[in-house]
Amino acid sequence: MRRRAAALAIGLFALSGIGPAAPAQPARLGDRVWRVGIFEAPPYTMRTADGQWKGLLVDLWAEVASELGLQYRFGEASPDTLLDDLAHDRLDVAVAPFAATIDRERSVDFSHAFRIQEMGIAVRKGGDEERWLLVARALTTPTAIRLYTGITLLVFLAGTAIWLIERRRNPQFSGSAFQGMGSGFWWSGVTTVAVGYGDKVPITLWGRLVALLWMFVSLILVTAFAAFVTAKLAVAEFGQVRGPANLHNAVVGTVEGAAVGEFLRRERIRHRIYPSIPRALQSLRSGEVGAVAYDVWILEYFVQRETRRDLEVLPQTFDQQILAFPLPDGSPLRDPINGVLRRFLPQPGWRDLQDKYLSSESTAFEPRE
């Protein structure tokens, strides 16, 4: 359903408000070898074991180049500098999943759109074991340990005070010092949690006054402890990313040069930039980031290649962007490329290419030998 909706949107975008494309001039365009920038972004662009390039956009570009009679040479480029290379005439076109954004159109031109890119989110798989681990971590922080120690010390002091007051007149707190303090500790403990079994009670005036004071103190301690535990559990749950709506809950990883980085900056979401998706996913696995945001198909490609199966791509997507071929301003390739795209995109061949590469059953998702 998502793919059909995207294809419909692309068709409407490509055919709306655009006049006939200028006729291509194969003789002139074929007189030179065009410099084509590319970088690995499976399943859009992938390098095979023998150094050849394949993928959805590679096949689409091959269709365009074949119809226009273009000679071209792929040159691997960095996604972070590729647009600058186009703007300064070091490349003639880029075959890569680049989104056409307003900021980018200030420096380069773009062909007609050929696909809607949807951003996805990769997270660690959150089973019951991980949830309990998060709870255990939240309740064993240094602050939590100090709180438990403080409450235990106050309970002991209250029990010792009752023993000292009651030990001469109350047989419930008699015996050796160890036995008496133990009885006092038991009494203060059950009083703190409002159980009050009644097996040990003070009988002296001062003992009862201390007991009354301890009841009020216990009420404050129990309330504070419950609030602390509730807050820790809420923070542990809050730190989890369950969808686009709570990306603010964690530090989000992405790749340098990605358009999703603009979205993260615009939404003021804390994020870290990595040189590649495998490096970002490694940081996700180690806990350095709480999620990785990037093109949903690229994320699914790498996650499905993983043998550990400890990561997953959430079903919700966000921040749809338009994919197009970036070109230098005034490029003679723009109108001929647009003409081919307008003819090819509505045909079954384009849908077949998408089914070939953008499918979990596709061989594009198999690990490379």
The count of structural domains within the chain is 2
Last residue of one domain, picked from the residues 192, 207, 238: 238
For the stretch 137-158, what's the b/e string if a residue is b when 16 or more beta carbons lie within 10 angstroms of its beta carbon?
ebbeeeebeebeeebeebbeeb
Q: Is residue 254 part of a domain?
A: no
CA–CA gap between residue 201 and residue 208 (Å, rounded): 8
Q: Identify the bridge partners of residue 253 per DSSP, sorted by sequence position.
A: 272, 292
Q: Is residue 315 part of a domain?
A: no
Let me know whether 90 and 178 are in one domain: no
The 10s digit of each residue's pLDDT in 174-224 is 888 888 888 888 988 888 887 667 678 888 899 889 888 988 888 888 888
Regions of the chain where pLDDT drops below 70 = 1-27, 126-135, 195-196, 198, 232-239, 359-369
DSSP state of 288: S
Single pTM value for the model: 0.62
Domain that holds residue 38: 2-114+324-365
Q: What angle do CA 318, 323, 324 make, to 5 degrees?
A: 165
Please name the residues in contact with 116: beta carbons below 8 A apart, sequence gap of 6 or more.
6, 9, 10, 320, 321, 322, 323
Whether the Cβ atoms of residue 303 and residue 120 lie closer than 8 Å to each other: no
Average predicted confidence (pLDDT) for the chain:
83
What phi and psi, each to the nearest 5 degrees, are found at residue 151? -65, -40
Let me know whether 8 and 62 are in one domain: yes
Per-residue model confidence (pLDDT) at position 126: 66
- Burial, 321: exposed, middle or buried (Cβ in 10 Å; 0-12, 13-18, 19+)? buried
The DSSP annotation for 259-274 comes to THHHHHHHTT--EEEE
Beta strands 252-255 and 271-274, pairing class? parallel
Per-residue model confidence (pLDDT) at position 237: 55
Among 268, 245, 272, residue whose Cα is nearest residue 256 = 272
Whether the Cβ atoms of residue 249 and residue 238 lie closer than 8 Å to each other: yes
Residue 175: give its domain's CATH number. 1.10.287.70
Let me know whether 210 and 175 are in one domain: yes
Q: Is residue 338 part of a domain?
A: yes
Let me know whether 92 and 143 are in one domain: no
Let me know whether 109 and 162 are in one domain: no
Beta strands 291-295 and 53-54, pairing class? unpaired
Residue 59: give its domain's CATH number. 3.40.190.10
CA–CA gap between residue 368 and residue 278 (Å, rounded): 14
Let me know whether 227 and 173 are in one domain: yes
Q: Is residue 119 part of a domain?
A: no
Let me know whether 150 and 216 are in one domain: yes
DSSP run (H or E) holding 71 = strand 71-76
The tokens describing 45, both together, are: 């662009």
